[in-house]
Amino acid sequence: MFLSAANPNWPQATLVDMLNKHLSLTAREATDRIKKNWTDDQMAFDLIYSQAMEMADALSTGIIAQFPTKV
């Protein structure tokens, strides 16, 4: 709620979906690491990295939209 209130270009549902996906992927990676399943751990890490870059893009796009004269 805090992030979506800070920027009208970040819909709360979108942020919740992104953050839940990130937590799910992180839990998956942690489970694989605990089980010493290194192949799946690495694949999960790659998914987390890609998803984190997507979140960064979405957040920066929202900032640019909020302050278009600052670009």
Cα gap 37→30, rounded to integer Å? 10
For 50, the domain range is 2-66
Residue 71: band (very low, low, confident or very high) from pLDDT cuts 50, 70, 90: confident
Is residue 71 a part of any domain in this protein? no
Summarize the confidence of residues 42-57 as an average pLDDT: 97
Phi and psi based region of residue 51 (left: phi greater than 0; alpha: psi -120 to 50; beta: remaining): alpha
Overall number of domains in the chain: 1
Q: Residue 65: which H helix or E strand, with range?
A: helix 38-66
Cα gap 41→53, rounded to integer Å? 18
Note the pTM of the prediction, 2 decimals. Answer: 0.85
Residue 7's closest CA among 59, 68, 57, 52?
Answer: 59
Is residue 6 a part of any domain in this protein? yes
**Hunting for tokens 């942020």 — which residue is that?**
15
